[in-house]
Amino acid sequence: MSRIGKSPVSVPKGVKASVEGGSLKVEGPLGKLEHAIHPAVSVQVDGAAGEIRVSRNGDHRVARSVHGLTRALAANMVEGVSKGYEKKLEIVGVGYLAAIQKNILQLRVGFANELQVPIPAGLTVACPDQTHIHIKGIDKQLVGQFAAEVRALRKPEPYKGKGIRYENEQVRRKAGKAVTK
Protein backbone atom coordinates (compact mmCIF):
# COMPACT_ATOMS: atom_id res chain seq x y z
CA MET A 1 0.00 0.00 0.00
CA SER A 2 1.19 3.50 -0.76
CA ARG A 3 2.78 5.12 2.28
CA ILE A 4 2.06 8.57 0.93
CA GLY A 5 -1.49 7.72 -0.14
CA LYS A 6 -2.69 6.35 3.18
CA SER A 7 -1.62 9.35 5.29
CA PRO A 8 -4.36 12.00 5.59
CA VAL A 9 -3.99 15.61 4.44
CA SER A 10 -4.67 18.04 7.27
CA VAL A 11 -6.80 21.03 6.35
CA PRO A 12 -5.84 24.20 8.28
CA LYS A 13 -8.31 26.77 9.61
CA GLY A 14 -9.70 29.06 6.92
CA VAL A 15 -9.48 26.42 4.18
CA LYS A 16 -12.60 24.65 2.91
CA ALA A 17 -12.43 21.39 0.98
CA SER A 18 -15.29 19.55 -0.72
CA VAL A 19 -15.86 16.76 -3.23
CA GLU A 20 -18.48 17.60 -5.86
CA GLY A 21 -19.23 15.76 -9.07
CA GLY A 22 -15.98 13.81 -9.32
CA SER A 23 -13.69 16.73 -8.50
CA LEU A 24 -11.95 17.99 -5.38
CA LYS A 25 -12.47 21.69 -4.69
CA VAL A 26 -10.30 23.56 -2.20
CA GLU A 27 -10.93 27.18 -1.25
CA GLY A 28 -8.74 29.30 1.00
CA PRO A 29 -7.63 32.86 1.70
CA LEU A 30 -5.47 33.03 -1.45
CA GLY A 31 -7.99 31.57 -3.92
CA LYS A 32 -9.72 28.45 -5.25
CA LEU A 33 -8.35 25.30 -6.87
CA GLU A 34 -10.12 22.35 -8.45
CA HIS A 35 -8.83 18.93 -9.52
CA ALA A 36 -10.66 16.07 -11.27
CA ILE A 37 -10.49 12.84 -9.26
CA HIS A 38 -9.46 9.70 -11.13
CA PRO A 39 -12.18 7.01 -10.99
CA ALA A 40 -9.70 4.47 -9.58
CA VAL A 41 -9.56 6.35 -6.24
CA SER A 42 -12.10 7.97 -3.95
CA VAL A 43 -11.62 11.07 -1.83
CA GLN A 44 -13.42 11.78 1.46
CA VAL A 45 -13.39 15.13 3.22
CA ASP A 46 -13.87 15.02 7.00
CA GLY A 47 -14.80 18.53 8.09
CA ALA A 48 -14.94 17.71 11.81
CA ALA A 49 -11.43 16.23 11.90
CA GLY A 50 -10.16 18.74 9.34
CA GLU A 51 -8.59 16.25 6.97
CA ILE A 52 -8.80 14.77 3.48
CA ARG A 53 -8.44 11.00 3.03
CA VAL A 54 -7.72 9.20 -0.24
CA SER A 55 -8.54 5.50 -0.69
CA ARG A 56 -8.30 3.34 -3.76
CA ASN A 57 -11.09 1.34 -5.37
CA GLY A 58 -9.47 -2.03 -5.92
CA ASP A 59 -5.87 -3.16 -6.13
CA HIS A 60 -5.11 -2.94 -9.83
CA ARG A 61 -2.05 -1.21 -11.24
CA VAL A 62 -3.70 2.12 -12.15
CA ALA A 63 -5.34 2.44 -8.73
CA ARG A 64 -2.01 1.83 -6.98
CA SER A 65 -0.22 4.39 -9.14
CA VAL A 66 -2.88 7.10 -8.79
CA HIS A 67 -3.38 6.64 -5.02
CA GLY A 68 -0.27 8.48 -3.81
CA LEU A 69 -0.45 10.99 -6.66
CA THR A 70 -3.98 12.07 -5.74
CA ARG A 71 -3.02 12.51 -2.09
CA ALA A 72 0.05 14.55 -3.03
CA LEU A 73 -1.98 16.76 -5.37
CA ALA A 74 -4.57 17.33 -2.61
CA ALA A 75 -1.80 18.32 -0.18
CA ASN A 76 -0.34 20.72 -2.77
CA MET A 77 -3.76 22.29 -3.32
CA VAL A 78 -4.29 22.83 0.43
CA GLU A 79 -0.83 24.37 0.84
CA GLY A 80 -1.30 26.52 -2.28
CA VAL A 81 -4.56 28.15 -1.15
CA SER A 82 -3.25 28.69 2.40
CA LYS A 83 0.42 29.73 1.89
CA GLY A 84 1.04 29.87 -1.86
CA TYR A 85 4.13 28.92 -3.83
CA GLU A 86 7.08 31.01 -4.96
CA LYS A 87 10.05 30.47 -7.26
CA LYS A 88 12.92 32.93 -7.54
CA LEU A 89 15.11 33.25 -10.61
CA GLU A 90 18.28 35.27 -11.04
CA ILE A 91 19.88 36.49 -14.23
CA VAL A 92 23.67 36.41 -14.50
CA GLY A 93 25.53 38.11 -17.33
CA VAL A 94 26.76 41.51 -18.46
CA GLY A 95 23.86 43.43 -20.01
CA TYR A 96 21.32 40.71 -19.11
CA LEU A 97 18.14 42.11 -17.58
CA ALA A 98 14.43 41.51 -17.03
CA ALA A 99 11.47 43.86 -16.84
CA ILE A 100 7.71 43.56 -16.68
CA GLN A 101 5.43 45.64 -18.85
CA LYS A 102 1.67 45.08 -18.46
CA ASN A 103 1.27 41.28 -18.58
CA ILE A 104 4.51 40.49 -20.42
CA LEU A 105 7.91 39.52 -19.02
CA GLN A 106 10.63 41.11 -21.15
CA LEU A 107 14.08 39.53 -21.11
CA ARG A 108 17.34 40.73 -22.60
CA VAL A 109 19.64 37.74 -22.31
CA GLY A 110 22.22 38.06 -25.05
CA PHE A 111 20.10 37.49 -28.16
CA ALA A 112 19.72 40.00 -30.98
CA ASN A 113 16.08 40.63 -29.99
CA GLU A 114 14.38 41.05 -26.66
CA LEU A 115 12.39 37.98 -25.56
CA GLN A 116 8.79 38.64 -24.57
CA VAL A 117 7.04 35.98 -22.48
CA PRO A 118 3.32 36.37 -21.69
CA ILE A 119 2.57 35.81 -17.99
CA PRO A 120 -0.16 33.16 -17.49
CA ALA A 121 -3.35 34.01 -15.59
CA GLY A 122 -3.15 33.05 -11.93
CA LEU A 123 0.50 34.02 -11.50
CA THR A 124 2.04 37.21 -10.16
CA VAL A 125 5.49 37.94 -11.47
CA ALA A 126 7.64 40.68 -10.01
CA CYS A 127 11.09 42.03 -10.78
CA PRO A 128 12.48 43.67 -7.61
CA ASP A 129 15.54 44.62 -9.66
CA GLN A 130 16.75 43.96 -13.20
CA THR A 131 18.50 40.70 -12.35
CA HIS A 132 15.86 38.92 -10.24
CA ILE A 133 12.45 37.47 -11.08
CA HIS A 134 9.92 36.37 -8.40
CA ILE A 135 7.08 34.09 -9.54
CA LYS A 136 4.17 33.57 -7.10
CA GLY A 137 0.91 31.65 -7.35
CA ILE A 138 -1.38 29.13 -5.69
CA ASP A 139 -0.94 26.32 -8.24
CA LYS A 140 2.37 24.51 -7.66
CA GLN A 141 2.44 23.02 -11.15
CA LEU A 142 1.79 26.36 -12.86
CA VAL A 143 4.47 28.19 -10.83
CA GLY A 144 7.08 25.49 -11.49
CA GLN A 145 6.21 25.17 -15.18
CA PHE A 146 6.46 28.91 -15.85
CA ALA A 147 9.75 29.15 -13.93
CA ALA A 148 11.16 26.23 -15.96
CA GLU A 149 10.03 27.81 -19.24
CA VAL A 150 11.69 31.13 -18.38
CA ARG A 151 14.89 29.35 -17.30
CA ALA A 152 14.91 27.30 -20.53
CA LEU A 153 15.09 30.49 -22.62
CA ARG A 154 18.74 30.91 -21.59
CA LYS A 155 20.07 28.12 -19.39
CA PRO A 156 23.23 28.84 -17.40
CA GLU A 157 26.23 27.87 -19.47
CA PRO A 158 29.15 26.02 -17.82
CA TYR A 159 32.09 28.24 -18.86
CA LYS A 160 31.18 31.72 -17.61
CA GLY A 161 27.94 30.84 -15.76
CA LYS A 162 25.88 33.32 -17.77
CA GLY A 163 22.14 32.73 -18.12
CA ILE A 164 18.94 32.41 -16.09
CA ARG A 165 19.10 30.18 -13.02
CA TYR A 166 17.08 29.42 -9.93
CA GLU A 167 18.17 31.34 -6.84
CA ASN A 168 20.89 29.41 -4.98
CA GLU A 169 21.29 26.96 -7.90
CA GLN A 170 24.81 25.61 -8.15
CA VAL A 171 26.05 25.76 -11.75
CA ARG A 172 28.77 23.26 -12.51
CA ARG A 173 31.65 25.19 -14.04
CA LYS A 174 34.15 23.84 -16.57
CA ALA A 175 37.68 24.99 -17.19
CA GLY A 176 38.26 26.58 -20.57
CA LYS A 177 40.91 25.60 -23.05
CA ALA A 178 44.04 25.35 -20.97
CA VAL A 179 47.43 26.07 -22.49
CA THR A 180 49.56 22.96 -22.18
CA LYS A 181 53.21 23.05 -21.07
pLDDT tens string, the chain, 181 residues long: the values are 568 888 999 999 999 999 998 999 999 999 999 999 999 999 999 988 889 999 999 889 999 999 999 999 999 999 999 999 999 999 999 999 999 999 999 999 999 999 999 999 999 999 999 999 999 999 999 999 999 999 999 999 999 999 999 999 999 998 888 766 5
Please give the single-letter amino acid code of residue 98: A
**Burial of 92 (C-beta count, 10 Å sphere; 0-12/13-18/19+):** middle
Kindly report the CATH class assigned to 85-166.
alpha beta
CATH of 3-82, one of 3.90.930.12, 3.30.1490.20, 3.60.15.10, 3.40.1350.10: 3.90.930.12
The pTM of the full predicted model, rounded to 2 decimals, is: 0.90
Domain with CATH 3.90.930.12 in the chain: 3-82, 85-166
Distances (CA, A) of 135 to 48, 85, 112: 35, 8, 26
